[in-house]
Chain A
């Protein structure tokens, strides 16, 4: 048996982590208990359950949950497990139900989890009290601009403590909507890979891999395909001779703010020249709503990817929200939601949805090479030849960014990964 606390401490060093953090099933079990069992996790977006009775089903770690809109208008996060004999109660990915009825013996729950009906009640034990048999609720929930989070632990850092430093990153996305709201109503991309969940988490802020991992997405000039509505071309990623990372790419920065969170700065694009019928129309609507000066700020991208540790990221380039779902130590599912900017012309939202297909669907140009990298990493980590995974790029070169109240480093370095392991070790060292 894993000598937990001591051993966990030895797996993470300042510039390296032991391969067991990706490959050891016991560590994975401990992650489910100590990390996913405690951390604030992204559950879903309030727009997925617009009306009372609407629900979605998902997982927090491996725990099946239901997110409902109760008839008092509040969003609830319930464990999807009948309190009678244990069957999963809601079985569709999304739906509408005024009551949640278990298929097995018909126990019936209100949309806040309260048990309201038991068939053949005369058979219940004399001291049976329905009040004690409601669906279990996530002990703590929090919501910011429609983003719903839950913690499966009754105690721990507050929602504000955890999410507070990343609110600006959520604002950056939501403020792009002329009406200041997002709708998660454009379906989702779902992919799976044979690899540890942390491989995807680390990848979202990894700018080092792009010129190599995504070599097949750049043309002879080293420029990637256009990824935003109104762009003529994408970012310059490698030099024209294909041998070196482009200097504009190397100059990008990454930032950390504690709790494992972080982000990378924007990708340099020809923003002044961005134009298309859909984009120009969107810009006009945004200016009408928020004024020219604010619209210019909103349309000048500041962020590429943002990670809200441990299970969610936001992409500012091909706008989407990504949710990472661990299945087992070497199997992970990822869900990517296109986001509709409420108030934006339909053509602009169509453009965003359409370009996300080619960057992040299971059949996309970008994501597929990352999936190959995750699977090959998991295979390579089986090797006993080298126990340590190196994450030392830029170690010691971190510097404060007082304006952003963050710590900053070059984006092609590995500060963000080290910050994730610092948070990881914090959860993992402490018994639940």
Chain B
């Protein structure tokens, strides 16, 4: 869990570049630039949406999404496929990201844990629905930017029964 903001001691981390990065990431999803979105992930990066609250591990429990780069590529290839029926017509999404907190990752130099609140509204075929929750990005400094080591999205309704979900949150 993210600690309360420090008021003294070590200099505070400048949150702006981190907040800008996760806003940029959300914008790529809203623009359906899925391949560019995948490119934000490190080669060892993963995208995880647990299926139960406080899920400890993606390995011994079902998840809504748990993609490494290989599976992410299959997902993106499919999202770009002309005959992906569940995206005919495509979803339109609007992400809102805020309440961002940043702290250094334990034990990993140049890695940071960024937690934020995410709301994604999705519209498709005359229906609109809302996904909301807390997202956790583990980011690695890469030159002047960042790469995503893990993006985890904890939806508040993660253990409910969902209609088909085609696009990442």
A residues whose Cβ falls under 8 Å from a Cβ of B: 93, 186-194, 213, 215-217, 219, 225, 333, 335-336, 338, 340, 346, 349-350, 353-354, 356-358, 361-363, 365, 367-369, 371-373, 376
Nearest-Cβ distance from residue A330 to partner chain B, whole angstroms: 13
Which chain B residues (44-85) contact chain A, with CB distance < 8 Å? 49, 51-52, 58-67, 71, 74-75, 77-78, 81, 83-85
Q: How far is the CA of A369 from the CA of B81 in the complex (A)?
A: 12
Name A327's closest neighbour in chain B (CB-CB): B161
Task: List the A side residues contacting B161 at CB < 8 Å.
Answer: 190-192, 333, 335, 362
Interface string of B13-53 (1 = CB under 8 A from A): 00000000000000000000000000000000000010110
Are A356 and B62 neighbours in the complex by a CB distance under 8 Å? yes
Are B62 and A186 neighbours in the complex by a CB distance under 8 Å? yes
**Count, A-B residue pairs, CB within 8 A:** 103
Task: List the B side residues contacting A215 at CB < 8 Å.
Answer: 81, 83
Nearest-Cβ distance from residue A342 to partner chain B, whole angstroms: 13
Are B86 and A361 neighbours in the complex by a CB distance under 8 Å? no
**B159 at the A interface (CB under 8 A):** yes
Task: List the A side residues contacting B164 at CB < 8 Å.
Answer: 191, 193, 362-363, 367-368, 371-372
Task: List the B side residues contacting A376 at CB < 8 Å.
Answer: 85
A93, A219, A335, A368: most-surrounded residue (chain B CB, <10 A): A368
Task: List the B side residues contacting A335 at CB < 8 Å.
Answer: 161
Q: How far is the CA of A406 from the CA of B87 in the complex (A)?
A: 40
A191, A213, A333, A346: most-surrounded residue (chain B CB, <10 A): A191
Contact of B84 among A194, A336, A369 (CB under 8 A): A369
Name A190's closest neighbour in chain B (CB-CB): B161
Are B67 and A373 neighbours in the complex by a CB distance under 8 Å? no
Are B166 and A358 neighbours in the complex by a CB distance under 8 Å? no
Q: How many residues of B contact A (CB 8 A)?
A: 32
> Assuming the A-B contacts A189-B51, A192-B163, A193-B164, are A371 and B86 also in contact, with contact meaning beta carbons closer than 8 angstroms in the complex?
yes
Q: How far is the CA of A372 from the CA of B75 in the complex (A)?
A: 17
Are A363 and B166 neighbours in the complex by a CB distance under 8 Å? yes
Which chain B residues (90-141) contact chain A, with CB distance < 8 Å? none
Which 3 residue pairs of A and B lie closest in terms of their CB atoms, listed nearest first?
Answer: A362-B162, A190-B161, A216-B81
Nearest-Cβ distance from residue B91 to partner chain A, whole angstroms: 11
Are B163 and A371 neighbours in the complex by a CB distance under 8 Å? yes
Are A353 and B163 neighbours in the complex by a CB distance under 8 Å? no
Task: List the A side residues contacting B160 at CB < 8 Å.
Answer: 190
Are A187 and B61 neighbours in the complex by a CB distance under 8 Å? yes
Task: List the A side residues contacting B51 at CB < 8 Å.
Answer: 187-189, 361
Q: How far is the CA of A192 from the CA of B86 in the complex (A)?
A: 14
Q: How far is the CA of A16 from the CA of B10 in the complex (A)?
A: 75
Q: How far is the CA of A335 from the CA of B161 in the complex (A)?
A: 8
Nearest-Cβ distance from residue A58 to partner chain B, whole angstroms: 13
**B165 at the A interface (CB under 8 A):** yes
Q: How far is the CA of A358 from the CA of B75 in the complex (A)?
A: 9
Contact of B163 among A189, A193, A225, A336 (CB under 8 A): A193
Are A368 and B62 neighbours in the complex by a CB distance under 8 Å? no
Name B51's closest neighbour in chain A (CB-CB): A187
> Assuming the A-B contacts A216-B85, A365-B75, are A357 and B65 also in contact, with contact meaning beta carbons closer than 8 angstroms in the complex?
yes
Nearest-Cβ distance from residue A221 to partner chain B, whole angstroms: 13
Listed A/B pairs (27) with beta-carbon separation below 8 Å: A93-B159, A187-B62, A189-B51, A190-B161, A191-B162, A213-B85, A215-B81, A216-B85, A217-B78, A219-B77, A346-B60, A353-B61, A354-B59, A357-B65, A357-B66, A358-B75, A361-B62, A361-B64, A362-B164, A363-B162, A363-B164, A363-B166, A365-B75, A365-B78, A368-B86, A369-B84, A371-B164
Q: How far is the CA of A373 from the CA of B164 in the complex (A)?
A: 11
Are A363 and B78 neighbours in the complex by a CB distance under 8 Å? no
Are A369 and B62 neighbours in the complex by a CB distance under 8 Å? no
Told that A362-B162, A372-B164, A373-B85 touch, could you supply 9 new A-B pairs with CB distance under 8 A?
A: A186-B61, A213-B85, A335-B161, A353-B61, A361-B63, A362-B64, A363-B65, A363-B164, A368-B86
Are A372 and B86 neighbours in the complex by a CB distance under 8 Å? yes
Task: List the B side residues contacting A363 at CB < 8 Å.
Answer: 49, 64-65, 162, 164-166
